[in-house]
Structure 1
Amino acid sequence: MDARQYAPATQRNREPILDILRQVLPPACSVLEISSGTGEHAVFFAPRLAPRLWLPSDPNPQALASIAAWRQECPAPNLYPPIALDARDAVWAVEQTPLPEVLRGLDVTQTPIRAIVNINMIHISPWSATLGLMAGADRLLPSGGVLYLYGPYRREGRHTAPSNAAFDQSLQMQNPEWGVRDLEAVMKAAEAAGLAFTRIWEMPANNLSVVFQKP
């Protein structure tokens, strides 16, 4: 059976996101993608962002199977196998010694993780996952390291479009711990974790790209 899953939004947002990543990612580094979902972004970004190494991850076994299946369908020499990783973990798999088996070929001293990419997770997860993401970025990123976020946000307590308000309501009906977050709250959590806000880009479909950097 084909384990690949599909997220229609990926086809719409991958090119605009790629444009931003090309501007903000450090060169010649490893990029850790937190909450890779279906894996469609990973197989699209990895070959286009070489020679950077792309490390996809997700806590969901079905997502991990989908990422692995997409990687098999669209192989790239700089795309690593998916890592089982929950942003809320006190120690992420990439911080463990020794590294998980799927990462044994990764030399983090030669190609260190200098960027974390997180797309469409913050609103489809408990707030504790956002706090875990910030804490992990603080632990893992060196000075100059980049945290890239993509998704919908409220700004100054208000939704930026009626469609986002409807989306927020549908998310909370699925799980009361989910929902479109206040951008200011996310920025405050990042600041508390020692990350400095650098820039916001307006993106298609009322989404934002938000970038932080480790001082």
Structure 2
Amino acid sequence: MDSLKQYAPATQRNREPILEVLLRALPKSGNILEIASGTGEHSLFFAPAFGPRQWIPSDPNPMARDSIEAWRKDSFVDNIQPKLNINAASLSWGIEEQELNITTIVNINMIHISPWAACLGLMEGAKRILPSGGILYLYGPYKQGGKHTAVSNESFDQSLRSQNPEWGVRNLEDVIKVAEEKGLIFQEKVEMPANNLSVIFQKQ
């Protein structure tokens, strides 16, 4: 299974600050759906802090799903569910009819490394799936007031756009606007390491 495991160095740097915010901001009951879980390392680290609640990882990339499953099977964490194949941009995530009792959606480092349609789909999915009072948690770099908050973020933005013109660091106000159009009310932003933000929304 080790050969299937992928590693994201940023996970080691940001997982503890993110967990600190999640422990404070998430509802005290219900399961947690992670959209765009990537390597699966975050789910492995976060899930034990929320047991017996279930952490449900997902990713549209087959290699990422293989990595998620490899980490899960080699762990002793018993409240991580098998990975799901969910594309945030899809009109249906294929789980809407399941009784999963999801009260939180967590999305880390996706919005800037995907087309804008993925952000729109994420908000639409959160509207469909979250109950009233449910939480949508986002983490990543953002522009604020149309301006980069750090030179490093500006360089990162240029690098992303050179790889794919549909990618790029988003304007926080634009993300808040599309979220609130879906009944996801902006609660707070938290300054995080390396010029990132935690952004928290609550479903009306």
Q: Place the TM-score, normalised by the shorter chain, in its bin.
A: over 0.9
Residue of structure 2 aligned with 1:182, choices 148, 151, 171 = 171
Contact 2:47 2:77 in 1 (8 A): yes
Q: Who is 1:168 aligned against? A: 157
Report the 3-state secondary structure (helix = DSSP H, G, I; strand = E; otherwise coil) of the residue aligned with 1:136: helix
Q: Who is 2:201 aligned against? A: 212
Q: Work out whether 1:159 is the aligned partner of 2:160.
A: no
1:194 maps to amino acid: G
Contact 2:142 2:149 in 1 (8 A): yes
- Write the deviation string for residues 130-181 of structure 1: whole angstroms up to 9, x where unpaired: 0000000001100100000000000001000000000000000010000000
CA distance in 1, matches of 2:9, 2:78: 26
Q: Who is 2:122 aligned against? A: 133
Equivalent pairs: percent with the same residue?
Answer: 61
CA distance in 2, matches of 1:3, 1:75: 18
CA distance in 1, matches of 2:56, 2:162: 32
Give 1:67 deviation, angstroms. 0.2
Structure 2 length normalisation: TM-score? 0.97
Q: Who is 2:82 aligned against? A: 81
Give 1:193 deviation, angstroms. 0.9
After TM superposition, the runs of 4+ consecutive aligned structure 1 residues lying more than 3 A away are: none
Contact 1:199 1:212 in 2 (8 A): yes
- Write the deviation string for residues 48-92 of structure 1: whole angstroms up to 9, x where unpaired: 221221000000000000000010121311100100000011111
2:21 maps to amino acid: I
Contact 2:29 2:103 in 1 (8 A): no
Report the 3-state secondary structure (helix = DSSP H, G, I; strand = E; otherwise coil) of the residue aligned with 1:157: coil
Runs of 5+ unmatched residues, structure 1: 100-106
Report the 3-state secondary structure (helix = DSSP H, G, I; strand = E; otherwise coil) of the residue aligned with 1:52: coil
1:193 maps to amino acid: K
Corresponding residue pairs, total? 203
CA distance in 1, matches of 2:156, 2:16: 23
CA distance in 1, matches of 2:190, 2:52: 25
Contact 1:25 1:146 in 2 (8 A): yes
Contact 1:122 1:129 in 2 (8 A): yes
Show the 5 A alignment for 1:55-204.
55-96=56-97, 99=98, 107-108=99-100, 112-204=101-193
Contact 1:30 1:55 in 2 (8 A): yes
Structure 1 length normalisation: TM-score? 0.92
Give 1:93 deviation, angstroms. 2.2
CA distance in 1, matches of 2:76, 2:39: 15
CA distance in 2, matches of 1:80, 1:27: 19
Runs of 5+ unmatched residues, structure 2: none
CA distance in 2, matches of 1:28, 1:141: 13
2:10 maps to amino acid: A
| Root mean square deviation, CA, Å | 1.0
1:53 maps to amino acid: Q
